[in-house]
Structure 1
């Protein structure tokens, strides 16, 4: 059995409650292995040590390239998406995960008090979409409560799902439950071929993912109904940039329909971010410099206006505020005015509108090629 093969796990989901799910051995997160790269400081050192040239200034300095592109001070536009990372607990331990989530990350799981604080902040934010992520967000004990509260507010809800969680007994009801509430399901699937998916996510992932996609199709997802949107997310296997999103979508739709009678509505193609376990993989393979050079060479100023950090608020499991989920995992808290705590309890829309977005070298991942973010490519 491979390192990431599926085995039964008793996962603590909160309030002392455990649930049996299938997942990989809980020994592969950076934190569990006490790897130096589990700290953001070590990740920054590894990235900043890479000598790359290119971009508008030829320096490999992201902030300098922003300024040379006319963006001396990157600021928000309009707050449209309230993204909540419900925790790092997951039934999988994927090689590319920028969150370093896994079955062992039981402590970082949002409690009910913070969930309610998020709801109060959502009411003040004016956002039209609530985007739930993790880990596996479904493993949070307050997940359904939060989804229902957002639906009752008339908000569009997105669940970022790893698919395999929907095949486990405690969560097999979710496709129908989502459909009844018009929740958009955004599912990660590295590739439409079994070998490529299992190489990145663990043996058995692909077959479980196809089973989950069939369940979603049976619940009315992926049939062109705008109230039951099924979105797939792919990221490259290896040290490559995402391909053309439109052409990949056509290819994926044809292959999944032909081979598995699976249909979906749209495909998002994302670049892998050079951080956490994907950074570990790059370092192990000696690909860090080549990948960073690829990102810098592909820097596209046309993507900056559409970066997700400009229209999205990112909230961590403990309520801390960030500009995006990537900054969140690197512990780059939101840079608010002096004396203003970057916490969801203290969220103020005017402070958010006026703050400067924090950037660093990993941000080349979002500005390379057609751009990349939680909404997929920025430029088609």
Structure 2
């Protein structure tokens, strides 16, 4: 059976909210139609079909206790919906990009932040919130997502020397990552971001509370739709004014996902340092005289030479070491968890066989 073709009208409506597919899966239910998840609430989901928003419930299998959280609908997903009262989300369609982090706590579990976005705006205030090491951590997560990062430095109108902050960050964040300093309250100042929010484009905002994500969203919307709040003077931290992720359609034709502030940015263990903004450091390490160089006191160490000559920023090197060790620990935790799950499945199957042998099939 050939894939189910969309009508020109439906395809045009979906294209407004980032749809890139020309047809539905060939096994899609006959009455199913696609829509995009624009918000998730305790009571269900809000969907957007390109013409209007409406509420829907997930199919029962998504709510099972053992269901993989990564397979459940997330904000940004395109889903197949079956009509009803209420409509039901039948299936999550393949994702182009997935931005995720490790959830807080000891147990390793990934938490999806947003899907099907083209760009991730890493938002940081040019006040006490400015932290190049934290920005590097965000960029490591973004590199794994498949989306492209843009660093947005807000509160440029309050900064003592925004140009110096950009120069400091550029020493830590090599091109082609874009770095912009803006006044989030000014539509004219944030207008350059519209280059990544053209019709059909999607982007997500990430950053700590008080960084100005909701203020930035309101300026791009041209209206005060997202709640905003003041920050503490001692540390420039704000309270959570955005309580859930929400996909909003902008006048420019693009879609923007606003997210609550993140207090913790844990690596998932699946990130890679050699393909990220630290690729140059990984390449430097390959030039060391000894393959097992610890970059401490060994002769012929290319890393120490770069540090001595000023070609490698010391703070960037220290953060690289920190992230490398954290990534290794996260990867070990992930491997151990997968091993435990595998062992549990084997034990469950063995127990099932013993019960069948003793009592027979029922």
Please, what TM-score do these two structures have when normalized by structure 1? 0.26
In our comparison, the structure showing a higher alpha carbon Rg is: 2
Q: Give the alignment's TM-score, normalised by structure 2.
A: 0.27
Greater per-residue helix proportion: 1
